[in-house]
């Protein structure tokens, strides 16, 4: 990692495991050019490693078949080869490369792989602090977001509207609300 999180006081060195029960991996995409469809993935895992010198690294895995947009027909179509091709590419992954301070927040840069395509992405990262937790160990909170272009990841289905535009927008906003628990605490 190129930068350390010296500006993050009180975050202990060690492995911080993502608490799936208290975290969300969500997204939104323009629909019919006038509104947004929102969804989330219900199955994911990951860890944040904080080295003794404060250098962080992040690895995360998302089960793309766990997508839910609250519409079974749409979810099945998104799992299909038209979109995620979940049978052939069941996981999306993120592996961090650097964290850079930016004002009160940070930029988390890493390699994001979706549908077999890897691209470097920058996430705007907000550190929400730590807390002693409720008996399961110390917890830390983070929020992060990024915008990707679905076509950059081989999701290039054309669904044009008769009046112009497309059924599904190209830009996907990914939002993460993460609570992580310090392992062994």
Per-residue model confidence as pLDDT tens for the chain (185 residues): 344 444 445 688 999 999 999 999 999 987 777 779 999 999 999 999 998 888 889 999 999 999 999 999 999 999 999 899 999 999 999 999 999 999 989 999 999 999 999 999 999 999 999 988 887 789 999 999 999 999 999 988 777 667 776 767 889 999 999 999 999 86
∠ CA 12-146-24, rounded to 5°: 60
Query: Structure tokens of 92?
Result: 């999306």
pTM passes above 0.85: yes
∠ CA 112-118-120, rounded to 5°: 55
Domains, the chain, in order of start with CATH, read: 14-182 (2.40.128.110)
∠ CA 65-112-15, rounded to 5°: 90
Predicted local distance difference test score (pLDDT) of residue 10: 62
Predicted local distance difference test score (pLDDT) of residue 30: 78
């Amino acid at each position: 990692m190129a930068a350390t999180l010296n500006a993050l006081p009180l975050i202990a060195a060690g492995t911080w495991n993502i608490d799936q029960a208290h975290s969300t991996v969500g997204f939104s995409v323009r629909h019919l050019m006038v509104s947004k469809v929102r969804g989330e993935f219900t199955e994911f895992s990951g860890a944040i490693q904080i080295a003794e010198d404060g250098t962080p690294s992040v690895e995360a895995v998302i089960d793309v078949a766990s997508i839910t947009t609250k519409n079974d027909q749409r979810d099945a179509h998104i799992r299909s080869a038209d979109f995620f091709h979940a049978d052939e590419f069941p996981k999306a992954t993120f592996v961090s490369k650097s964290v850079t301070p930016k004002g009160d927040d940070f930029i988390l840069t890493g390699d994001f792989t979706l549908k077999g395509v890897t691209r470097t992405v920058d996430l705007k990262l907000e550190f929400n602090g730590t807390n002693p937790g409720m008996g399961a160990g110390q917890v830390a909170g983070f929020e992060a977001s990024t915008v990707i272009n679905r076509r950059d990841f081989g999701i290039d289905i054309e669904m044009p509207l008769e009046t112009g535009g497309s059924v599904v927008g190209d830009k996907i906003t990914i939002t993460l609300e993460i609570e992580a628990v310090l392992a062994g605490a």
